[in-house]
Amino acid sequence: MAGIPLRLAHCRENPYQLLTHSLRDPEPEKLIRHEVQRQLDLVASIGSSVSDNRLKLTIPPPALQRVKSLLSELGLDRNRPWLVIHPGATAPSRRYSPESFAAVAEKLSETAGMQILFTGTEPEQALVTVIREKARSQTYSLVGQLNLGELTALLSLAPVLISNNTGPVHIAAAVGTPVVDLYALTNPQHTPWGIPCKILFHDVPCRICYKSICPEGHYNCLRLLEPETVVSATLELLETTQTNPGAAANYQPLLVS
């Protein structure tokens, strides 16, 4: 309807008139690729390529200035150790528990002296409030206060992001911020692309279910991930990236458990 002459996609069924070009989707039966590589391969099928496959986002200068002002108003000192935690996710299967997030925040605050800043959308206010109450430590929140450009600006400043596998992970990747990704094993293709990261999960036999709600009902791929593991991975990633700022990205698909 928009008059786009070339329309291509991976396809599992008859695309009818929606597409001009389609590729039979071989995943996950024959192979598994990262989603970025999957889409690059798709456009390569018609002869297109890129010279730089990194994700990139442009940060609006007013957004960066507002975020710096908000951090100052909160009393967060960027000259001291700090990080961002994004505890929300649309799919229940991709959510680390509030109790576990609280334990992570408390341990990082009390034992490592980290300033913890929470982000999220307005509907996630209640979730973050519960986590902050359970953490029993001083934390900060910009939940419901940032638009997309401002969230991007914030993540560009953050030394590291701890998050479920959800949108801010990929925003962080697009601005070069290291990520500790609490990665539910629903889909192996959406790990952080091209940045230093730790991909954490508890391995389960029902992995790669592609479900938003755990079909087994136990959510063990995240529920059994210990907060101590998250804390250790975070401190290790911070040490690695701060002592070697030019470290090459260590993206590996689901090899850290």
The DSSP line for 22-84 is EEE--TTTT----HHHHHHHHHHTTT---S------PPPHHHHHHHHHHHHHHT--TTS-EEE
Does the residue 87 lie in any domain? Answer: yes
Q: Is 140 in contact with 118 (CB distance < 8 Å)?
A: yes
The count of C-alpha atoms lying within 13 angstroms of the C-alpha of 112, restricted to the half-sphere facing its C-beta, is: 20
Task: Say yes or no: 35 and 66 in one domain.
Answer: no
Backbone CA torsion sign across 222, 231, 138, 147:
negative
Do residue 78 and residue 128 come from a single domain?
yes
Q: pLDDT digit string (tens) for 2-52?
A: 999 999 998 877 777 889 988 887 877 788 889 899 899 989 989 999 998
- pLDDT value at residue 71: 98
CB 208 within 8 A of CB 187: yes
Integer CA distances (angstroms), 168 to 158, 164, 165, 192, 232, in order: 12, 9, 8, 10, 21
CA atoms within 13 A on the CB side of 79: 1
> Is residue 208 domain-shared with residue 111, that is, in the same domain?
yes
State which residues of the chain have pLDDT below 50.
248-257
Domain assignment of residue 122, yes or no? yes
Same domain, 176 and 69: yes
User: What integer pLDDT is reported at residue 208 of this predicted model?
Assistant: 86
Are both 81 and 199 inside the same structural domain? yes
75 shares its domain with 25? no
Report if residue 36 sits inside a domain.
Answer: yes
What six digits make up the tokens of 17? Answer: 């008139």
φ and ψ of 240, to 5 deg:
-65, -45
Strands 82-86 vs 115-118: parallel, antiparallel or unpaired: parallel
Q: Residue 21 sits in which domain range?
A: 8-44
Residue 210 placed within a domain: yes
Check whether residue 23 and residue 131 sit in a common domain.
Answer: no
Residue with tokens 């649309």: 90
Same domain, 27 and 115: no
Q: Are 107 and 227 in contact (CB under 8 A)?
A: yes
Confirm whether 94 is domain-assigned.
yes
Q: Is residue 109 part of a domain?
A: yes
Give how many domains the chain has, as a whole number. Answer: 2
**Residue 111: CATH number of its domain:** 3.40.50.2000
The pLDDT score that the predictor gives to residue 247 is 53
Residues 170, 96 share a domain = yes
pTM for this model (two decimals):
0.83
Nearest to 53 by CA among 210, 251, 231: 251
Residue type, 232: S
Is residue 71, in this structure, part of any structural domain at all? yes
d(CA 144, CA 126): 11
Contact of 185 with 215, CB cutoff 8 Å: no
- Per-residue pLDDT, 248: 44
Residue 249 lies in a domain: no
- Could you tell me if 130 and 227 lie in one domain? yes
Q: What is the pLDDT of residue 251?
A: 42
Judgement on whether residues 82 and 111 belong to the same structural domain of the protein: yes
Do 114 and 185 reside in the same domain of the chain?
yes
| CA Rg value for the chain | 19
